[in-house]
Chains A and B, each alone.
Chain A
Amino acid sequence: MELTGAQILLESLKKEGVDSIFGFPGGAVIDIYDEIPKHPEITHYLVRHEQGAIHAADGYARATGKVGVCLVTSGPGATNTVTGIANAYMDSIPVVIFTGQVPSSLIGNDAFQEVDIVGITRPCTKHNYLVKDVEDLARVIKEAFYLARTGRPGPVLVDLPKDVAQARTEYRYPRSCKLRSYRPTVEPNRKQLSKALDLVRAAEKPLFYAGGGVISSDAHAELTWLAHNLRIPVTTTLMGLGAFPGDDPLFLGMLGMHGTYAANRAVQECDLLIAVGARFDDRVTGRVSSFAPNAKVVHIDVDPTSIRKNVSVDVPIVADCAATLKALKQDVAEGLSQEGFVRDHTPWLERLAEWGQRHPLTYNGANGTIIKPQQVVETLYDLTGGNAIISTEVGQNQMWAAQFFRYRRPRTLLTSGGLGTMGFGFPAAIGAQVAFPGELVIDIAGDGSIQMNIQELATAVCYGLPVKIIILNNGYLGMVRQWQELFYARNYCATCMDFAPDFVKLAEAYGASGFRITRPEELRPVLKEAIELPRTVIVDVHVAPEENVYPMVPAGASLNEMLLV
């Protein structure tokens, strides 16, 4: 049957199992929007800014593991998604972005709302397409979804000229993709795997360093099994929180710039570092030359470019994390029956426990008159029992959310790790709430970040999404202020947010509910009420203005050089 490009797009989305699209219409995509009401199995969520659409699609993808979909018009609609695309690219999140384009005959003419979005997004997409012929459309969509979700996942953009959306052709959705230049390695090399196992067996002080790759490849069960059976402690990156149970005795907490004392010391002392789906980001390693100085390094990653990028590796394994850990689990399961299959790690674990006890995550000055931001996150954990999907904005709020909430399941922390995008958390929470209407979704925000995509309150209220926004309001752009305090002689240039809207009234203006908390004794009851309210809620919590995030490894210092509380 002959279909138009717009019809082909919607039919293909159906074939890919897409149930939600986040988007904003415009002239270049009006033909596609004309088709949407004819497909009731796909719900379109109208956002209030295209950046909200891409972050919502990203949040949906992080929470579900499926591909998030975003649809916007050409020109400003397309460029407004660029931050969100770069964000998804840095964190390897599978998203497909459909952008409208001016008619083919006008491309390159500086036509109204024309922009070379394929050119603009080339460095921040896994791949992108300009569809010039409606004949190619079904194949391109198939490839886009395939590329987005396989190998190292990432965003793929499809630019659709208006005339292509209007043109007709016979529709046939391809069953598979033929891409001879794209064949990600899934299964690990057996030789490398046995080398890694030899190192594990010989190690006295081994350590797992898990990243977002464990979550995106669904390898958490294997990681947990291996850690438990081999008695290897685990630290994770920010992106890896939830890859290993946050309340497990073997869990050391996050490592890196704001990592725990125990985790950072463990990295510096371990004799074997097993990096799984992590990429040795500079926020993790501190000074690279003194990172894990005594360790042999095993690095498992599906993306060969991640390996040996920053740190030299003894055993590189280019493969899917889940496939690799499964294979390792099989070998370990066979070996464990032998006496002395691995060394006894008791002294190592005792040493780590001692470090953990000596310097736990903590804060001073909760004195009954002032609310500490850490206290807010702790109370949230307590009230929810950890059963919530947490998204964060970026800055101090993000680090406290990472430190003081324990993530027991994967995909329960949605945070902008690589790009550090302020304004990410709220729209991402909307995406997660769309995917899981019955779950409690909380955006832990700062007063600065929340103002970057506050307009999405309309989206949340309009679709009845009961997202909770908890603002840790300290009247500052807190993380930058912290750097200014510690490293720039307290020159608080442009970090004091001394004018902010009345967030309670703002919530009410959008039809949401607003609460304000200024005294410690209000914290628990009001947060409880807010959480239980089945509506979109903002809670404006006035916290200690000059509280800092500790521990802190100053940029460029070694992980041993931590500033403690």
Chain B
Amino acid sequence: MRHVLSILVENEPGVLSRVSGLFSGRGFNIESLNVGPTLEPGVSLMTITTVGENAIIEQIIKQLRKVVTVIKVVDMLDCKAVEREMVLVKVNATETNRAEILRISDIFRCKVVDVSHDEMTIEATGDKDKVGAVVAMLQRFGIKEIARTGTVAMRRSMQ
């Protein structure tokens, strides 16, 4: 089962390795991990996406709560959540296929953020599936480089 964990942490040196160490110490993979500051100085929000059996995820959540620099852990499976991810895709764009790439970007409401005579960089935002679909559609033109942020998530207001 895929879980998105939203983890509020004290922004101290080493906090990232304290958190990620809990996963690696148990031989689990983190699908994506994402950190950024919050409104409160000294406090950051981490979003971790991982896949595992529910019992194991329950253990990880409990272990995360035990870390002294972790303030709060929420499993987004327990509530309705908005999930978003951003990706930058640098794709081959020749005279002949540029129009096609632009059309696809349009359909997915992507933005072209950089262009040259033979390549184009496209920014896409959406949930994991949409970002996956954009990447899949662009693949046939030849992707030169890709940078994904990993999921960020937030609880929906109307539950």
Contact = CB atoms under 8 A, between A and B. Distances in A.
Interface of A: 118-119, 122-123, 126-127, 130, 147, 179-182, 303-305, 308-309
A309 B66 CA distance: 14
B18 interface: yes
Given A123-B25, A130-B13, A309 B71 contact: no
B98 interface: no
Given A118-B14, A122-B14, A305 B68 contact: no
A147 B18 contact: no
A181 B10 contact: yes
B48 interface: no
Contacts, number: 35
B65 interface: yes
Contacts of B21: 122-123
B17 A181 contact: no
B78 to A, nearest CB: 16
Interface string B82-108: 000000000000000000000000000
Nearest to A180: B71
Interface string B13-24: 110011001000
B149 to A, nearest CB: 26
A179 B68 contact: yes
Interface in B1-50: 10, 13-14, 17-18, 21, 25
Contacts of A309: 59
A180 B65 CA distance: 12
A552 B59 CA distance: 30
B59 A305 contact: yes
B69 A181 contact: yes
Contacts of B63: 305
**Nearest 3 CB-CB pairings of A with B:** A305-B62, A127-B68, A181-B71
Nearest to A305: B62
Contacts of B25: 123
A511 B73 CA distance: 57
Contacts of A304: 62, 65-66
Contacts of B55: 308
Given A305-B63, A308-B58, 7 more contacts: A119-B17, A126-B68, A181-B69, A181-B70, A304-B62, A305-B59, A308-B55
B19 to A, nearest CB: 11
A118 B65 CA distance: 20
Contacts of B10: 181
Nearest to B58: A308
Indicate the size class of the contact surface on chain B. Answer: 20 to 34
Contacts of B71: 180-181
B68 A147 contact: yes
Interface of B: 10, 13-14, 17-18, 21, 25, 55, 58-59, 62-63, 65-72
Nearest to A306: B62
Contacts of A147: 68
A118 B70 CA distance: 17
Contacts of A126: 68
A305 B59 CA distance: 6
A179 B69 CA distance: 9
Nearest to B62: A305
Given A123-B25, A181-B10, A305 B17 contact: no
A182 B18 CA distance: 15
A130 B69 CA distance: 14
Nearest to A128: B14
A126 B21 CA distance: 13
Contacts of B70: 181
B114 to A, nearest CB: 36
A127 B69 CA distance: 9
A119 B63 CA distance: 18
11 contacts: A119-B14, A122-B17, A122-B21, A123-B21, A130-B13, A147-B68, A180-B71, A181-B68, A181-B72, A305-B63, A308-B55
A309 B56 CA distance: 9
Contact of B68 (A123, A130, A182): A182
Contacts of A182: 68
Given A123-B25, A181-B10, A303 B17 contact: no
B153 to A, nearest CB: 21
A123 B23 CA distance: 11
* Residue of A122, A123, A181, A182 with most chain B CB atoms under a 10 A cut-off: A181
Nearest to B24: A123
A86 to B, nearest CB: 12
A233 to B, nearest CB: 31
A528 B14 CA distance: 54
Contacts of A122: 14, 17-18, 21
* Residue of B18, B63, B66 with most chain A CB atoms under a 10 A cut-off: B66
Nearest to B68: A127
A130 B12 CA distance: 11
Contacts of B66: 303-305
Nearest to B17: A122
Contacts of B59: 305, 309
Contacts of A127: 68
B39 to A, nearest CB: 16
A256 B24 CA distance: 30
A305 B70 CA distance: 15
B40 to A, nearest CB: 11
